[in-house]
Each structure stands twice: as C-alpha cells, then as structure tokens.
Chain A
Amino acid sequence: MGPLNLENLQKEAIAEVLESYPEKVSKNRAKHLGVDSPETSKGACDTSRSNKQTVPGVMSQRGCAYAGSKGVVWGPVKDMIHISHGPIGCGQYSRAGRRNYYIGTTGIDTFVTMNFSTDFTEKDIVFGGDKKLKVALEEIDTLFPLNNGITIQSECPIGLIGDDIQAVAKKYKSESSKPTIAVSCEGFRGVSQSLGHHIANDMIRDEIMPDDSARKDFQSTPYDVAIVGDYNIGGDAWSSRILLEEMGLRVIAQWSGDATYKEMAIAPKAKLNLLHCYRSMNYIARHMEQEFGVPWIEYNFFGPTKTTESLRKIAAMFDETIQAKTEEVIAKYTAMTDEVIAKYRPKLEGKTVMLYVGGLRPRHVIGAYEDLGMEVIGTGYEFGHGDDYKRTKEDIARSTLIYDDVNEYELEAFVKKLKPDLVASGVKEKYVFQKMGLPFRQMHSWDYSGPYHGYDAFAIFAKDMDLAMNSPVWSHTKAPWDTEEKGA
C-alpha cells in the first residue's frame, strides 16, 4: 500500500468510528485520535489529547492506581513484602501476572509471586481495618523474618472508609525498626495506573531515598550505573545488564525487576541513571538528579538498531575505554543479529502491525519490528501523557494511526479497517483478535516468552513473531461456510 493510500485509510477509519458516536462523545474522542508520519510537522503525536478521564461506560483497557503502584513499581521489589490492603480480589487478580523474574527462595528471602492481603470483609469495611492491618504486619514478620521491609498497598475501599494506614505504618516502623511504607494508591485515584506510578515513585522518594544506611559504606567507581524502569519481564533486565557489563560498566542497581531494598537505596551513588520505562519512573529519576546530582538518560533495548544507538548514547557519557569496548560489543552482537535478520526477515518483511500497549512499548518496540522488515501502522498508549506522544514521533517510520486510551470498540473497528497482519497488545485484547482469526502477541508479559531486551533477546522476539504469524493454524480459522462461499 502506498503511503498516501495508507494515510487515507487511517483517516477514514477515524471518521467512521467518530460518526458512530453521539455528538459529545465524538467531539471528545476526536481529540484522542489522529494520524502522524515522520514527514508531518504537527501531527497526532504533537496534538493528541491524553491522560484524561476515560468516557464512562466505554470498555477501557486501563488499569487503576493500585495496579500502577503494586503491580508495576513496588510489586517486583523482591525482598520486601507488599501487602494489598482491602478485599482479596485486587491482590489475587494482580498476583504474578506480570512475570517479573527474580532470583531468591520464594517465601524465605524473596516474595514477589506470593499474595499478601488483609482480606477485608464486611465487618472491616464497617468498623475499619487498621487493627487488622497491624495484626497482619506482625504476622508477616513472624512468618517471614527475612523480609527487608513491608509496603502497604491501598485498594479502593481504604480511601473510602478512611483507614489511616500512614499512622499504622509509622507506628509499626518505630516498633519493628524495619522499613514500613504505606502507599495510598487507592484504585480510584487519577485516571489510570499512571498516577499509581507517580504515587509509588513519591513513596520511594520519601521513604527509601533518605535512608543512607546502605549508601554510607558503599564504594563507588567511575563506571557505576543504575537501570531504572526495567521490570525484568521474562528476564529483560538481566539481558540488558549483560550488555552494560560487557561495555565495562558496573550495574549497581536495577529497578524494580529483581530489585532489593538496598539496591534502591544505593541508586543515588550511580554516576548515571539509565531510564528504560520513562512513564513509570521518570519522577524518581528527576528527583535523583535534583537531590543527588545523578544525571539520567533514556535508552531503548528493543531490536538491534535501537540497542546499538542506545549503547553508543550511553557510552558517550563515559570515557574512551568504555566507548572502544562498546564498539567491540556492538560488532560482536551485530554479527549475531544479522543472522537472525537473515533467517526471519524473508518470512516477515512487509507484514503490518498494530500496537496498543502501555508504558514505553508503544514507541520502543517499533524499531524491533522495523528491523525485521515489518511495518507498524498503528500505535497507542493506555495511559501515556503528552511527553510520551511527543517522543513517539521519533520512532514512527511511516504514516501511523495514533490512538490514545482506545476502547475495545474503536480498536476492533481500526483493525477491521486497516487489516494488519499482527496485533500486538494486552491480554484483554488477545482473544478478541485471535477469534477474528488474526495473529496476536501479548506485549505486556511477552506472551509467556521473552526476554525481549538486548541483542540476544532479539532472536527470541523474531522467533516469536514468526511463530505467531506464520503458524499454519491461521489457515483453519475460517468457518467452513465462509471458506466455501469464496469457492476455495
């Protein structure tokens, strides 16, 4: 399809969707939808409205503030126990779904995949759950004495009944002399999980950053860096870390995938903070810059082109020895990724992709697809802000449909119109599209695969995309009457 045809089709898709809405909704949604391309001067990446309340009643794919704090930022910190305060559902349904890998003995010194909850019942809602929380904290320390701290993650009802979790945490902290951090991340706060990230970052700022007990005796080197905003989904942080170490850098902390309390506390000792997920961790990176003078840069480890660009950008912050080593690393791995491209590009070239994810992926994964010759023709954020959309402009390679907080109806309509070869989105969308007979990859948890960060991981990414798209199963998804009608 020519670039002009594609752009027209994308504009038509938006017009058709908007036409089906009542006037008020149509006017609102029009601001969240648009088309942009590298050549356009002020396209949808600059003008899209975002981070606004979802229209009540539509099927949004967003999560809540609790999900942003417990599920994303705090949950993966492995040696702390994160107790969900409120009824059991929030904790149970967010348990272990994100595949944050970690090293440790679960239940002894690490606790990521376990579910801790105050398990509210009617009585607690009516009479308050402060006492129950206190008992739970004591129980945790009795049963799991090797934990290095507790965070209390508030669910919706806590904000509604007004439990004073901050006071409980403060009191317990003074009694137990262990970090006890109350995070008021009730699900109804803000418009999406994004506020949960912010609240979680604020608590790291207020509770962990001032603790210099671990930093006091820490021996720094000129090559210390911290990975911030990598949640180690399927081992992502590990596959990033090996590259940085091969370059000659020392990774002193990785947040928050496979992280420990101590690692978070020593991060201000880094010479440079490397920020992968900008959306969920930029707040704390900015804080460390202001408070401790640690600069930060963003990087992108999806696909060889972006990984190479990022490694050079990181190396430029250090001396020539690091830069020379970086070139060696790039040369070594490029030989490998060229083999991956030789194997998979012929099978994937020209295939079109539509993305709809959160955090950094709506822009960061574009390069990895383009390395395989695939064409990303639509992308959008669940909970992005204006600065995310602005950054997306640098990554799009052609006319791209941009959709912010797209609802189920719109996404389905866009996919029907643009007919991509692959939809890459979350688990909530997965079965809708697979039932339509479309190849799909779940890009939140890498569909039980991964890692996808770094050079080695590119081989896994390419294989997964090939398996998803070229599986013979797709030729069997049409009902017999549909197939017969075409005379096939």
Chain B
Amino acid sequence: MFVCGYHFPASMGNDVSFDKVIEKVNEGAGDLSGVSAIEVTGETSKGDIVEKFTVSPGSFLFAALADYYNKSDVPEKDGYKMIYYTNKYQISEISKAVDGEEEKALCKKLDDMNLYRIKIA
C-alpha cells in the first residue's frame, strides 16, 4: 500500500498507523528550513480559482505538501503542481488527526472535489 507516496508492504497489514506514515514523510522531506510557506490554490473542474491559502511551517500538513511538491513528477504549471486526489485525501486525514485547529480548517477545504495546486515559497 502507498500512503503519501511511501510504500508500506503488505506484511504491515491494511491499517498502517499514522505515526509510521509521519515518520516516513518527515524523514523523506528532509530539511525544509529553506521553505517559508506553501501556497495552495483550489479550482473548479472548469479551471476557475475558488480558494487561495497559505500553509505555514511546523505542521504535518506543511511537511507532507512540501515533500509531495519536491518528489512528485506532476508537470509544473507556473510553478504550481496539482495534488493527486489520493495523496490529498491521505494528507488531509492525517493532518486532521495530528495538526492544530488552523490546519484542520484548511484540510476541510481540501476534502471537496475541487482541484488543488501547490507551490513552495
């Protein structure tokens, strides 16, 4: 199974604990001191931008998005990369469980059916 882009072998079962995923994401993301913020946009299926917000450092949401941006091979458009639906869903679920209220509010937005793009600043 892949969670946030990391492989968890079948021997670990279907129910991979959030702690294990967080550990892998933090390890994989490495040093993020150079990243000051992550800009997020949400657009409709027709491409109209309906959401715009920033994620600040210090949360799982931040680390996971930055890691996704750096590792994903999704083509860049004006510096932005679109987030895969599955990754978006997984990141949001974990963040809601471990991050603060501010991130929780952002994750609720991520749960809709709009298309989200991210850019690291």
Within the assembled complex, what's the spacing in Å between the Cα atoms of A371 and B83?
A: 17
B84 within 8 A of A: yes
Question: In chain B, what residue has the closest Cβ to A340?
Answer: B45
Contact A342 B114 (CB under 8 A): yes
A6 within 8 A of B: no
Contact A342 B82 (CB under 8 A): no
Contact B113 A339 (CB under 8 A): yes
Contact B45 A338 (CB under 8 A): yes
Residues of chain A within 8 A (CB-CB) of B46 are 305
Interface residues of A, dominant DSSP: helix
Contact A345 B77 (CB under 8 A): no
Q: Which of B74, B75, B77, B113 contacts A342 (CB 8 A)?
A: B113
Residues of chain A within 8 A (CB-CB) of B85 are 342-344, 346
Contact B113 A346 (CB under 8 A): no
B61 within 8 A of A: no
Contact B74 A338 (CB under 8 A): no
Residues of chain B within 8 A (CB-CB) of A349 are 74-75, 77, 82
Residues of chain B within 8 A (CB-CB) of A304 are 45
Within the assembled complex, what's the spacing in Å between the Cα atoms of A341 and B45?
A: 6
Closest Cβ–Cβ distance, residue A351 to chain B (whole Å) = 8
The answer to whether A338 and B113 touch (CB under 8 A), given A345-B45, A346-B84, A371-B45, is yes
Number of A-B contacts (CB under 8 A): 36
Closest Cβ–Cβ distance, residue B5 to chain A (whole Å) = 13
Contact B75 A341 (CB under 8 A): no
Question: In chain A, what residue has the closest Cβ to B85?
Answer: A343
Within the assembled complex, what's the spacing in Å between the Cα atoms of A344 and B74?
A: 12
Question: In chain B, what residue has the closest Cβ to A344?
Answer: B85
Residues of chain A within 8 A (CB-CB) of B115 are 341-342, 345-346
A287 within 8 A of B: no
Residues of chain B within 8 A (CB-CB) of A341 are 45, 113, 115
Residues of chain A within 8 A (CB-CB) of B83 are 346
Closest Cβ–Cβ distance, residue A186 to chain B (whole Å) = 49
Per-residue contact bits, chain B 70-114, to A (CB 8 Å; 1 contact, 0 not): 000011010000111100000000000000000000000000011
Within the assembled complex, what's the spacing in Å between the Cα atoms of A347 and B84?
A: 7
Within the assembled complex, what's the spacing in Å between the Cα atoms of A209 and B29?
A: 70
List residues of A (304-341) whose CB comes within 8 Å of B's CBs: 304-305, 335, 337-339, 341
Closest Cβ–Cβ distance, residue A28 to chain B (whole Å) = 39
Per-residue contact bits, chain A 241-274, to B (CB 8 Å; 1 contact, 0 not): 0000000000000000000000000000000000
A295 within 8 A of B: no
Within the assembled complex, what's the spacing in Å between the Cα atoms of A209 and B44?
A: 48
Closest Cβ–Cβ distance, residue B23 to chain A (whole Å) = 26
Closest Cβ–Cβ distance, residue B93 to chain A (whole Å) = 16
Question: In chain A, what residue has the closest Cβ to B117?
Answer: A346
Contact A346 B74 (CB under 8 A): yes
Within the assembled complex, what's the spacing in Å between the Cα atoms of A343 and B83?
A: 10
Residues of chain A within 8 A (CB-CB) of B44 are 338
A350 within 8 A of B: yes
Residues of chain B within 8 A (CB-CB) of A337 are 45
Closest Cβ–Cβ distance, residue A338 to chain B (whole Å) = 5
Within the assembled complex, what's the spacing in Å between the Cα atoms of A337 and B85?
A: 14
Within the assembled complex, what's the spacing in Å between the Cα atoms of A242 and B104?
A: 41
Residues of chain A within 8 A (CB-CB) of B82 are 345-346, 349
Closest Cβ–Cβ distance, residue B109 to chain A (whole Å) = 13
Within the assembled complex, what's the spacing in Å between the Cα atoms of A347 and B86?
A: 11
Within the assembled complex, what's the spacing in Å between the Cα atoms of A341 and B42?
A: 13
Question: In chain A, what residue has the closest Cβ to B75?
Answer: A350
Within the assembled complex, what's the spacing in Å between the Cα atoms of A341 and B114?
A: 9
Within the assembled complex, what's the spacing in Å between the Cα atoms of A339 and B75?
A: 21
Within the assembled complex, what's the spacing in Å between the Cα atoms of A126 and B45?
A: 64
Residues of chain B within 8 A (CB-CB) of A338 are 44-45, 113
Question: In chain A, what residue has the closest Cβ to B46?
Answer: A305
Contact A350 B84 (CB under 8 A): no
Within the assembled complex, what's the spacing in Å between the Cα atoms of A345 and B74?
A: 11
Within the assembled complex, what's the spacing in Å between the Cα atoms of A342 and B111?
A: 11
Closest Cβ–Cβ distance, residue B67 to chain A (whole Å) = 16
Within the assembled complex, what's the spacing in Å between the Cα atoms of A338 and B85?
A: 12
Within the assembled complex, what's the spacing in Å between the Cα atoms of A339 and B44?
A: 11
Give me 19 A-to-B residue pairs in the complex whose CB atoms sit less than 8 angstroms apart, sorted by A's number.
Answer: A305-B46, A335-B113, A337-B45, A338-B44, A338-B45, A341-B45, A341-B113, A342-B113, A342-B115, A343-B85, A345-B45, A346-B74, A346-B115, A347-B74, A347-B84, A349-B77, A350-B75, A350-B77, A371-B45
A contact residues vs B (CB 8 Å cutoff): 304-305, 335, 337-339, 341-347, 349-350, 371
| 6 further contact pairs, Cβ within 8 A, besides A345-B82, A347-B74, A347-B84 | A337-B45, A339-B113, A342-B114, A343-B85, A349-B77, A350-B75
